[in-house]
C-alpha cells in the first residue's frame, strides 16, 4: 500500500468510526493497516502475527467488534467455522472467496468482468422473482485448494 492509499483508508475508517461515536485509536489503526495489506481474509491469530506492534488478543477482538459496527471491516466464516476478517468491500476491491473444505483456507478471487456482469444479472433476476432488492452479492466457491488436492 502506498502512503496515499494508507492515508485515504485511515481517513475513511476515522469518518465511519466517528459516525458511531468512536475514534480511530492506535489499535484500530493497526488493524486497518494489517487488513489493508492482507491478500486474503485473516483470522485473529493471523492479524496478531501480521502486526508490526504487539497486540493483545482481547484488544483485537474488542476493536474488531467496533470496526464491524462502523462498517470498516466485515466478518466471514470459512468451512472450518473460524471467523476471518477483511476490509469492507467498498474500501477494498470487489472479490469473491475460495474456501478449502480440507484445510479451511480462505483465498480471495476476482471474477473476470464478463463473469462479474453475468453474476450480477443472475442475482438481479433471482431477486426480482422474490421482490427483493440486491445491494451487493458475495460468492464463495467451496472445494479443495491446490495444496489439498
Q: Are residues 45 and 104 in the same domain?
A: no
CA-CA distance, 127 to 121, in Å (whole number)?
Answer: 10
Q: Left if phi > 0, otherwise alpha if psi is -120 to 50, otherwise beta: which for 80?
A: alpha
Q: In 3-state terms, what secondary structure has residue 54?
A: coil
Q: Are residues 125 and 52 in the same domain?
A: no
- Residue 101 scores a pLDDT above 90: yes
CATH code (residue 148): 3.30.1490.190
- Residue 2 scores a pLDDT above 80: no
Q: Tell me which of 88 and 1 has the higher pLDDT.
A: 88
* Band of pLDDT at residue 44, cut at 50, 70 and 90: very high
- Residue 53 scores a pLDDT above 90: no
Q: What is the reported pLDDT for 132?
A: 95
Instruction: Pull the grid cell for residue 76.
Output: 466471514
CATH code (residue 25): 1.10.10.10
Domain span at residue 8 reads: 1-92
Share of the chain above pLDDT 90, in %: 72
Q: Are residues 72 and 136 in the same domain?
A: no
Average pLDDT, stretch 35-53?
Answer: 93
73-77 and 83-87 as β-strands: parallel, antiparallel, unpaired?
A: antiparallel
Q: Are residues 71 and 88 in the same domain?
A: yes
Q: Are residues 63 and 83 in the same domain?
A: yes
Q: Tell me which of 78 and 30 has the higher pLDDT.
A: 30
The DSSP call for residue 117 is H
Q: Are residues 75 and 132 in the same domain?
A: no
For the chain, the average pLDDT equals: 92
**DSSP labels for 81-116?**
--EEEEE-GGGS---EEEEETTT--EEEEPPPHHHH
Instruction: Pull the grid cell for residue 72.
Output: 470498516
Q: How many CB atoms lie within 10 A of CB 127?
A: 14
Q: Of the candidates 66, 92, 118, which is a domain's last residue?
A: 92
Contact 22, 70 (CB under 8 A): yes
Q: Are residues 49 and 9 in the same domain?
A: yes
Q: What is the reported pLDDT for 138?
A: 85
Average pLDDT, stretch 87-116?
Answer: 91
106-109 and 73-77 as β-strands: parallel, antiparallel, unpaired?
A: unpaired
Q: Of the candidates 72, 92, 112, which is a domain's last residue?
A: 92
Q: Are residues 51 and 85 in the same domain?
A: yes
Q: Are residues 18 and 81 in the same domain?
A: yes
Report pTM: 0.85
Q: Are residues 84 and 15 in the same domain?
A: yes
Instruction: Pull the grid cell for residue 87.
Output: 476490509
- Domain total in the chain: 2
Q: Are residues 102 and 140 in the same domain?
A: yes
Q: Of the candidates 60, 92, 124, which is a domain's last residue?
A: 92
Amino acid at each position: 500500500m502506498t502512503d496515499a492509499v494508507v492515508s485515504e483508508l485511515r481517513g475513511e475508517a476515522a469518518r465511519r468510526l466517528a459516525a458511531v461515536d468512536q475514534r480511530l485509536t492506535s489499535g484500530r489503526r493497526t488493524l486497518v493497516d494489517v487488513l489493508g495489506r492482507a491478500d486474503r481474509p485473516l483470522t485473529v491469530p493471523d492479524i496478531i502475527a501480521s502486526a508490526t506492534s504487539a497486540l493483545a488478543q482481547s484488544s483485537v477482538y474488542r476493536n474488531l467488534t467496533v470496526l464491524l459496527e462502523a462498517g470498516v471491516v466485515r466478518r466471514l466464516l470459512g468451512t472450518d467455522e473460524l471467523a476471518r476478517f477483511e476490509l469492507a468491500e467498498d474500501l477494498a476491491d470487489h472479490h469473491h472467496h475460495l474456501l478449502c473444505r480440507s484445510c479451511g483456507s480462505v483465498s480471495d478471487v476476482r471474477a473476470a468482468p464478463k463473469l462479474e456482469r453475468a453474476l450480477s444479472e443472475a442475482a438481479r433476476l433471482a431477486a426480482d422473482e422474490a421482490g427483493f432488492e440486491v445491494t451487493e452479492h458475495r460468492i464463495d466457491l467451496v472445494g479443495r485448494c491446490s495444496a489439498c488436492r
